[in-house]
Amino acid sequence: MRLFICEKPSQARDIARVLQATRRGDGCLQGQGATVTWCVGHLLETAPPEAYGNYKRWSLEDLPIIPAHWQLVVKPKVASQLKVIQQLLRSCSEVVIATDADREGEMIAREILERCQYQGPTLRLWLSALDDASIRRALGKLRPGEQTLPLYHCALARSRADWLVGINLSRLFTLLGRRAGFDGLLPVGRVQTPTLRLVVQRDRAIAGFEPQSFWTVDAQLEADGTLFQARWQPPTAACDEAGHCIHEAVAQSAARRLSQLGTAQIRRIEVEHVREGPPLSFDLGTLQEICSAKLGLGAQETLAVAQALYETHKATTYPRTDCGYLPESMLDEVPRVLHALAAAAPSLGQWLTEADPSRRSRAWNSSKITAHHGIIPTAVTLDLTQLSERERAVYTLIRARYLAQFLPDHEYLKTQVVLHSDEDQLLARGKQILARGWKAVIDEADGNEPVEQTQHLPTLRESAAVALTDTTVNAQRTQPPKPYTEGTLVKAMKTIANQVDDSRLKQKLKDSCGLGTEATRAAIIQGLIDHGYLTKRKRSLVASAAAHTLIEAVPAEVADPALTALWEQALDRIETGQLSVETFLARQAEWLTRLVRGHASLTLQPPATKGPRCPVCRSAMRQRKGRTGSFWSCTRYPECKGTKPVAKPKRTKQPGAF
C-alpha cells in the first residue's frame, strides 16, 4: 500500500479525489492500493527548555540554554493524528511525501518519518496547485525522496538555530527588562528584531524630520493657440541635493524675468515611443502590498484570503510563493483558464476578446521559477457569488494580473521639451497614450489608480519661439517619510538587501528574498502587533516605547539583517552537503554564548511611571520649561522632537461662588 502524507486535510481530500481514494478511514482516505493521510501543519515541535533541565524558572545564570540532544514533543491537540500516521506507516509499502513543496513542508513530513523510525522507500509529490489537472500531472512525475532530503536538513538547521536565538535572547532581555521595571515579555528573534528595527528607524526619521522650504516656478506657454505647462529649472548653486530651489528670492527673480521677456525658444525636443509590458503575476509579498494599499487588508488577512482561494475554492494556485514567474509548461492550460474566467465573469468579455492566448509576456520563464510559480487562477469555473467580499476582491486582483499577460502592451509617446528664455531654462513634459493595452484591466481591477499626467503638447519645432503667457511661484515644503503600513513593511522585508553594505551578503539577501519567507512575514508582523511592539493607527504601524528600548539594547548583530544573509549562506552549504547541521548549530551556540556573557550585566532604561507617552514614538516624556511655560518633551530628544502641552488643572467652584 502506498501512503500519501499531506500537510492539511483539505490538501489530502483533493489528492484523494484524483486517486479515487474515497473510502473514509480513521484519519485517512483509502482507495485501491493507496491511502491518503494528513498532518495539521507541524504535529511535532522542538521541546521547551524545561525538557533539557531545570529551566522552567527563568534565570540569567542558566543562559545560554543549548541542548546536547535535541528533542521533539507532540503537540497535544494533534496527538491523535500522529498515532494514526504511525499506525499507517507500519503497514505501508512506500511513502509519498505530499506536503507543501518547500523547506517547511519537507520538514513536516520528515520529522514524522524519523519519529516513527520509518525505513522504507520514499517518493516526493511536488505540487503548486490543487486543481485536478495539476495533481494528475504531478502524480505522473513523482520525484525520488533523496532528491528533496537536503531541504529537510536546511529546515532543521534553521528551526533549531531560531530556537536557540529566540529562547536565549528573549529570556535574556526579558530578565534585564524586569530588572529595570518592565513588565511582560520582550521577545527577540532573528527575523522579528530586524523587522522591528525597520519601524523604529522609520519612526525616528519621521520624529526627527525638519521640513525645508523650497520654491518652484511654473510657466504657461502658448503655441498655435494651444496652452501647455513648463517648469523653470533652477541653477545648481540655488539648489539642495534633491534639486529643489531653496532660495525664494532666486525663484521670484526668475519669475519676473520670464514674465518681462514673455517668450521662450525651443532648444531641444526628445520623443520616445514607450512599449510597457504587463507586471509579473503575483508573489505573496506583492499581493500583500497591493491588498494593503488598495483594500486596506493586513498581511495576515491577505494570506488567509489567498489560502482560502487556494484550498477551499480551488480558484488559485499555491499562495505562499516568492516568485512571480510562470513555467512554460503551463502554457497549454491557458485556453482552459481563459474559458473558465469567461464563464465565471461574462463582464470580462471585452478584455477576453482582446486577449491573445499565444502571447508570451516576460512572466513565462521556466528558468526563473523557484520552489513555486506565481499566483494565478486555475481552470476551475467559479461561482463568484460563493466568495466572500474580501475573497472576491483579492481574486479579482489575481485574475487581472493573469489576464494582463495576454493583452497588448501599454504604449505611449513620452515627450520632453527644453526651452530657453534668455538665461533661464524651462522643461515641458508630455505624455500621449497610444494604447492602454493591459493597463485597462489592471486599472479596472485596482479601482483607485492615481490619475496619469497626460499633458498633450502641441506640435512644436526646434528653434521656434513660443509665447510665455503666465508664471506662478509655488512655495512648497519637503515631506517626512511615510510611516510603514503592513504592506510596505512586507515590501521592506523583501528588499532588506538595500540596507546591507557588504556586496556578497546583499546578493544573498536578494537571492533568498530578504527577511523571513513569504509564508512567515505576515505572522512575524502580527506577532509584533500582538506583543505590543507595534500598534496600528488606521493603516499605519507605529513602534511602542518598549520597541525603542529593546532596539537600543539588543546587540547590533541581532538587529542586523546581515545575520539572515549569513545563515542563508550556511543553509546553501548544508543543502549541497558542504556543511553539516551539527557544525552549523555548534557555531551558533558559540556565538550565543559570547553574546549572552557580554550582555548579562546590561542595564535597560527604566520605564517612566508618571507622565504621558510621546505621541510620535510612544517613549516616556519628561516635563520641561519653555518660553511660554511648561510642556512635555520626549525623553529621546533630540532624536525625537515629540511634545505635548501640560494639562491645566480643572478649576473647582469655590464655596459661595456663582
CA 62 – CA 153 distance, rounded (Å)? 29
Percent helix, strand, coil in the chain (nearest 5)?
40, 20, 35
Task: For residues 310 and 137, give the distance between their C-alpha atoms in angstroms, rounded to a whole number.
Answer: 18
Q: Do 128 and 224 have their domain in common?
A: no
The residues, ordered by sequence, that sit 6+ positions from 202 with a Cβ below 8 Å of its Cβ are: 481, 483, 484
- Which tens digits make up the pLDDT trace of 589-629? 999 999 998 888 777 765 544 567 777 766 667 667 676 77
Per the model's pLDDT, the better-predicted residue between 149 and 643 turns out to be 149
Same domain membership, residue 43 and residue 137: yes
Q: How confident is the model at residue 569 (pLDDT cuts 50, 70, 90)?
A: confident
318 is annotated as an active-site residue: yes
Mean pLDDT rounded to a whole number for the chain = 89
Number of C-alpha atoms within 13 angstroms, CB side, residue 202?
Answer: 20
Q: How many angstroms separate the Cα of 32 from the Cα of each of 14, 20, 126?
A: 16, 8, 22
Tally of domains within the chain: 5
CA distance 510 to 505: 9
Tell me the residue type at 291: C
- How far is 658 from 653, CA to CA, in rounded Å? 8
Out of 458, 477, 496, a domain closes at 477
Query: Do residues 327 and 430 share a domain?
Result: no
pLDDT over 50 at 651, yes or no: no
pLDDT in tens, 150-174: 999 999 999 999 999 999 999 999 8
Residue 607 lies in a domain: no
Contact between 108 and 65 under an 8 Å Cβ cutoff? The reply is no
In this structure, the answer to whether residues 348 and 490 fall within a common structural domain is no
| Residue 183, domain member (yes or no) | yes
Do residue 32 and residue 132 come from a single domain?
Answer: yes
**Average pLDDT of span 268-296:** 95
pLDDT (tens digit per residue) in 50-64: 999 999 999 999 999
- pLDDT interval class at 506 (50, 70, 90): confident
| Sheet with 643-645, edge to edge strand ranges | 621-626, 629-634, 643-645
State the residue range of the domain holding 223. Answer: 213-277+410-477
**606 lies in a domain?**
no
CA-based nearest residue to 643, from 657, 658, 630, 627:
630
Q: Which of 118, 152, 310, 318 is catalytic?
A: 318
- Using DSSP, state whether 426 is helix, strand or coil: strand
Residue where one domain finishes, among candidates 93, 113, 141? 141
pTM of the full structure: 0.82
pLDDT digits (tens, 9 = 90+) for 79-122: 999 999 999 999 999 999 999 888 889 999 999 999 999 999 99
- pLDDT tens for residues 348-400? 888 888 999 999 999 999 888 877 899 999 999 999 999 999 999 999 999 99
d(CA 162, CA 564): 11
Distances (CA, A) of 645 to 40, 300, 544, 629, 632: 53, 38, 21, 9, 6
Q: What is the CA radius of gyration of the chain?
A: 31
